[in-house]
Amino acid sequence: MTTATFSRRFSDLIIIIFFIFSFNLGLAQIRNAPLTKIDADRAAQNYQKYCTLCHGADREGNAADFAPSLKSKSLISTMPLNFLASSIGFGRPNTAMAPYLSDAGGPMSMKDIFTLAIWLKQKSGVQTIALSMDPVEGNINKGAELFGHKCAECHGQKAEGVTAPALANPAYLAFATDAYIKYAIENGREDTKMQAFKNALSPEQIDNLTAYIRSLTSGWSPEPRELSPYPEPKDYVLNPEGKNPDFTLKQDRYVPMAQVEKALKDKNKLVILDTRTTSEWHNAHIPGAIPIPYYISEDKVASGLPNDDTWIIAYCSCPHAASDKIINMLRKKGYKNTAVIDEGFFNWINASYPIIGGKTK
């Protein structure tokens, strides 16, 4: 398949999503209209509630899970509003960036998401640069070789992301134009480890690298999941008649996932908390896990949870940031038998431990 075919496919998807958002929200906000004070204040509050855990209190990035800086002028200036809103709404599958759109089980309405995207644009203080929608032609094989030498250390041998974003992520490639990818390669991302390559690589090499990254497109579409009913407090404790598990904690906090998996097999008594966004819980979770997202208020965090000798085990993707936050809240309220799954949810999946997945509608 040619790079032009890849580009047409993701461009068609962009147009579809753009018109869906436009119809529901109104073209005034799509065009980055100024926010009212009420909307700006709400966006700022939503950022602090949902985004600071990973992106930092001042949008500086790398607070957790190598989340990118949202202050980066080269990033924000080249990311169209609908791309930024889609990134928030649909997230990045198989990464810690979850979908926040309510239709996907997240906590935010479409209006809230676009208001937040506009707020991020306006806080950056930069104008959006109009980039070409035309495909970039290049030699994919040469680009792959170049990627291995220049990019894999941070982005991963398969562009899966290591200490830098996953460039092979299907949701990213569904919305990133060739010109957007090329601009990032040429100009880098200031205040990050992503250097500018415009003086280190020839124009032909940059085109080859862009073509290779584009070739990783894999046909993702933002299909909402069938939302599962939330568990009731009477079902919070798994195996209530079972014995307490025998956990060995590291740093008085972290429990190896193998011990948790064994406790489930042995039908031990415990509570498991999924501290990721509710949309991630809907998509896939450990059987019996209760959605207690990291952005829950401290006065509600313990609602329905037993405060006795029952072990309460939390997990997230980071693998610790969100779960640490919830466990800290519970310990502050006097909960003793609490711990965090050390390796996180992605390693749980990679170990082929049991999960329950949602269905597409």
84-88, 235-239, 305-309: least confidently modelled range = 84-88
Is the same domain home to 127 and 275?
no
Please state the rounded mean pLDDT for residues 284-298. Answer: 94
Residue 116, in any domain of the structure: yes
Q: What is the mean pLDDT of the chain?
A: 87
**pLDDT (average), residues 153-175:** 86
Residue 16: pLDDT over 50 = no
Q: In this predicted structure, what is the pLDDT of residue 130?
A: 87
pLDDT digits 0-9 by tens, 322-358: 999 999 999 999 999 999 999 999 899 889 899 987 5
- On whether residue 224 sits in a domain, the answer given is no
200-203-205 Cα angle (round to 5): 75
Burial of residue 351 (CB within 10 Å: 0-12, 13-18, 19+) is exposed
Look up residue 360 and give its DSSP letter.
Answer: B
**Model pLDDT, residue 361:** 53
Q: Indicate yes or no: pTM above 0.85.
A: no
CATH of the domain at 167: 1.10.760.10
Question: How many structural domains does the chain have?
Answer: 2
Tokens standing for 324? 């640490």
Task: Find the domain containing 69 and state its range.
Answer: 3-214
For residue 339, give the CATH number of its domain.
3.40.250.10
- Report pLDDT digits (tens) over 170-198: 778 877 889 999 999 999 988 788 999 99
In this structure, is residue 353 part of a structural domain? yes
What pLDDT sits at residue 358?
A: 59
Q: Is 142 exposed, middle or buried (0-12, 13-18, 19+ CB in 10 A)?
A: middle
CA distance 337 to 327: 10
Q: State the pLDDT at residue 219.
A: 58
Q: Residue 138 has what pLDDT?
A: 94
Q: Which residues are paired to 211 by β-bridges?
A: none
Q: Which of 53-67, 222-236, 319-333, 339-353 has the lowest mean pLDDT?
A: 222-236
Domain membership of residue 197 (yes or no) is yes
List CB contacts of 345: < 8 A, sequence separation 6 or more. 274, 276, 286, 315, 316, 317, 319
Phi first, then psi, for residue 45 (nearest 5°) are: -65, -40
